[in-house]
Chain A
């Protein structure tokens, strides 16, 4: 697992920035936003399946940070853990309120690492899109551990702290989530292969 808590090469530590934020330093708060908004946004986007909803979550998370910076205790949790914890609460509250997924995440980001040809890139995008949809269809308790541990590089320990459960629970949920994902992807494989064959014939 990568350590996403470390400051960037030319920046202060999160702890120093949060202290400055608590003292009313706008620049420190802006730096914290720049450093962590991407992870919060990606988490919320995969949890909700909606970009506008993810934007709202990001906004709400950082407003909470702005108001509670003085109460943040670095000894209890890393800032990333703290932010994911807030994002999780905000997202779950939103999902409970709306009880719907408003849109599926758009594909199209995957053809950036030199796919040999357009057909393979299309197929890869299609596969990633099905993976996104499969993640989105997981129960939220499984979805969140997949996003945190598999996609955001959060350690089991940090994920447990964010979610508020034991590390063993994270392990078992992740194991179960991977099985569910594999089953879902396998189930949709035949349909999509057939669809692609029809498209290729049409072309």
Chain B
């Protein structure tokens, strides 16, 4: 190529196009992209099946939660109790704790069983007798701090 005119340039560009037509991003890029997809689409709410083995752990966690809630009892927003709009409904009662869930925030749901008396001590009333256990769902925010409690009927 001594004096690349327009025709020569077109031929060269075509040769370059053909030479790199199979070039693509390496596999590690695809891995990173798909990993990002998986992270972004991970289930926001996970249910924990209560089995005999996890029951003991749940009770222990309930104890820790009760102590923690007692410690931060002053922050408990009893005014923010959401109850069913109709008396006959069996929807769970949701009690907001601390900051509300932010828009778009990913949350986790931790199901546990705790004594009704512990809830009663916190000022939360339930239909269960004081000696019974109550199933609750703790809604945990992205920062690991509880946002709300949900009392199952």
Contacts and interface: CB of A to CB of B under 8 A. Distances in A.
Contacts of A55: 25-26, 28-29
A34 B24 CA distance: 9
A40 B25 CA distance: 9
A170 interface: no
B127 interface: no
B4 A186 contact: yes
A150 interface: yes
Interface residues of A, number: 40
A24 interface: yes
B90 interface: no
B48 to A, nearest CB: 23
B105 interface: no
- Tell me whether chain A's interface is mostly helix, strand or loop, or mixed: helix
A42 B23 contact: yes
- Tell me whether chain B's interface is mostly helix, strand or loop, or mixed: helix
A58 interface: yes
Interface stretch (B6-14, B80-88, B107-115, B134-142): B6-14
- Interface size range on B against A: 20 to 34
Nearest to B41: A24
B32 interface: yes
A90 interface: no
A34 B30 CA distance: 8
5 tightest Cβ-Cβ pairs between the two chains A and B: A38-B24, A41-B25, A110-B19, A58-B25, A109-B19
Interface of B: 1-6, 9, 12-13, 15-20, 22-26, 28-30, 32-34, 36-38, 40-41
Given A41-B23, A59-B32, A185-B12, 9 more contacts: A34-B30, A37-B25, A59-B29, A59-B36, A127-B1, A152-B17, A182-B4, A186-B4, A189-B3
